[in-house]
Structure 1
């Protein structure tokens, strides 16, 4: 294995931490969303379309996922009554995914659980350290998007 520079080692350590954090966040998200009949993936899709109906392709781009996986999630959500497919005024064939009242109720339930969880965990980390972590990860994401030549995705922050 080729030897890495100190900068490469540090960046690689960040990548590994983010991979581990992602797995734990998905596990925590599943626990937070289960009482509302959701999973992390379903919660994420509902969160995207909470801002308004969107095509599966647009949801996938926003989430940085494959369209096929989002299609499967949207279809499952529709089958369970959390979303519905509605006409897209901009495209005849590509329907938009829209929240139903049941989907909105489930999303609000998860958001309440998330708020309490985030407050508890956020309070356990020094504010300056947390802010620096956010800024560092954001900068790494921006550099990676540029390096990959991908269009920057919208992120709240």
Structure 2
């Protein structure tokens, strides 16, 4: 099997990708601890946030697309949230089977409570970083995301 040589940028990015995997794990663990007292996990909090920030109620497939997540995983979490009374399903006038997901009052309260905890947490997390550094990191992340989406559309990963 022949190994394809990496460009200098590809070589450095490989290390950063490993760091991002570790960062993601740390963020999830820290988020779980942050919202545990509210009966939430990072995954449930993320789902409530996606639903709360949508311009209008959306079906699970759209939520999954917006999160870049697997529809089946999103469906499982949404079902759990519905069972706990944090979201409910409503009829979708555009699609008979793809119901819309809507926050309940309890769901909105849980999300708002999580966001109150998030403020001090994210401020502490950003210690030592300038807004310019964070903006630069954001630009890099968004470029990588756009490149991934472009590769997925063309199935070109070589």
TM norm. shorter chain > 0.5: yes
Give 1:20 shift.
Answer: 1.4
Provide the rounded CA distance (Å) in 2 between the counterparts of 1:58 and 1:8. 32
Provide the rounded CA distance (Å) in 2 between the counterparts of 1:144 and 1:93. 31
Give 1:90 shift.
Answer: 1.1
Give 1:4 shift.
Answer: 3.0
Instruction: Tell me the equivalent position of 1:9.
Output: 11
Give 1:127 shift.
Answer: 2.9
Q: Secondary structure of the equivalent of 2:90?
A: strand
Q: Give TM-score scaled by structure 1 length.
A: 0.87
Provide the rounded CA distance (Å) in 1 between the counterparts of 2:130 and 2:67. 28
Match of 1:132 among 129, 136, 140: 136
Q: Secondary structure of the equivalent of 2:100?
A: strand
Provide the rounded CA distance (Å) in 1 between the counterparts of 2:73 and 2:20. 21
Q: Give TM-score scaled by structure 2 length.
A: 0.87
Give 1:124 shift.
Answer: 2.7
Provide the rounded CA distance (Å) in 2 between the counterparts of 1:58 and 1:136. 25
Instruction: Tell me the equivalent position of 2:100.
Output: 96
Counterpart mapping for 1:79-90 below 5 A? 79-90=83-94
Q: Secondary structure of the equivalent of 2:98?
A: strand
Provide the rounded CA distance (Å) in 2 between the counterparts of 1:56 and 1:109. 24
Give 1:38 shift.
Answer: 0.9
**Structure 1: unaligned runs, 5 residues or longer:** 151-157
Match of 2:48 among 46, 51, 72: 46
Instruction: Tell me the equivalent position of 1:153.
Output: none
Give 1:129 shift.
Answer: 2.2
Give aligned pairs, total. 150
Determine if the alignment matches structure 1 residue 110 to structure 2 residue 114: yes
Higher strand share: 1
**Structure 2: unaligned runs, 5 residues or longer:** none
Instruction: Tell me the equivalent position of 1:66.
Output: 70
